[in-house]
Chains A and B, each alone.
Chain A
Amino acid sequence: MKAASGPGAVYMAGGIDVVNQMKSGLPVTDVIHLGSVVGLDRIEETEDGLRLGALVTHDQLATSPLVRARLPALAQTWPDVANIRIRCKGTIGGNIMAGEPAYDFALAALAADARLYFLIADGSTRIVSAVQADATRGGLLTAISMPLGGALKLVFDRSLRPIVTLVLGLDFADGCAAGGRVALGGVYATPLVASLPVHEPLPPSELAHHAERIAQEVVTGLPTLIGDHHATPVYRRRMIEVLLRRCLSA
Chain B
Amino acid sequence: MTDTVEIAVTINGRGHRLVVSPRRVLADVLREDLQLLGCKIGCDQAVCGACTVLVDDVPVTACTTFAFELDGKAVTTIEGLAEGGRLDPVQRAFLEHGAFQCGFCTPGMILSVKALLARHPEPDEALIRQWLNANICRCTGYQMIVEAVRAAARTSAS
Contact = CB atoms under 8 A, between A and B. Distances in A.
Within the complex, are A and B direct neighbours (CB within 8 Å)?
A: yes
Interface of A: 15-16, 19-20, 23, 29-31, 33, 35, 79-80, 83-86, 88-89
B130 A79 contact: yes
Q: Among B65, B68, B69, which residue has the most Cβ atoms of chain A within 10 A?
A: B69
> For chain B, which range describes its interface: under 10, 10 to 19, 20 to 34, or 35 or more residues?
20 to 34
B22 A80 contact: no
A228 to B, nearest CB: 18
B58 A88 contact: yes
B59 A88 contact: yes
B91 interface: no
Interface of B: 1, 22, 45-46, 49, 52, 58-61, 64-66, 68-69, 112, 115-116, 130-131, 133-134
B46 A85 contact: yes
A30 B130 CA distance: 36
A30 B59 contact: no
A83 B61 CA distance: 12
A83 B22 CA distance: 27
Q: Among A16, A20, A88, which residue has the most Cβ atoms of chain B within 10 A?
A: A88
Contacts, number: 48
Contacts of A19: 46, 64, 66
A84 B59 contact: yes
B59 A85 contact: yes
Given A15-B64, A88-B60, A89-B60, 18 more contacts: A16-B46, A19-B46, A19-B66, A20-B45, A20-B64, A29-B1, A30-B1, A31-B22, A35-B69, A79-B130, A84-B59, A84-B134, A85-B52, A85-B61, A85-B134, A86-B134, A88-B58, A89-B58
Contacts of A20: 45-46, 64
Contacts of A15: 64-66, 69
Contacts of A35: 69
Which 7 interchain pairs have the tightest Cβ spacing? Answer: A83-B134, A83-B133, A19-B64, A85-B134, A88-B58, A84-B134, A85-B59
19 contacts: A15-B64, A15-B69, A20-B46, A20-B64, A31-B1, A31-B22, A33-B69, A79-B130, A83-B134, A84-B59, A84-B116, A84-B131, A84-B134, A85-B46, A85-B59, A85-B112, A85-B134, A86-B46, A86-B134
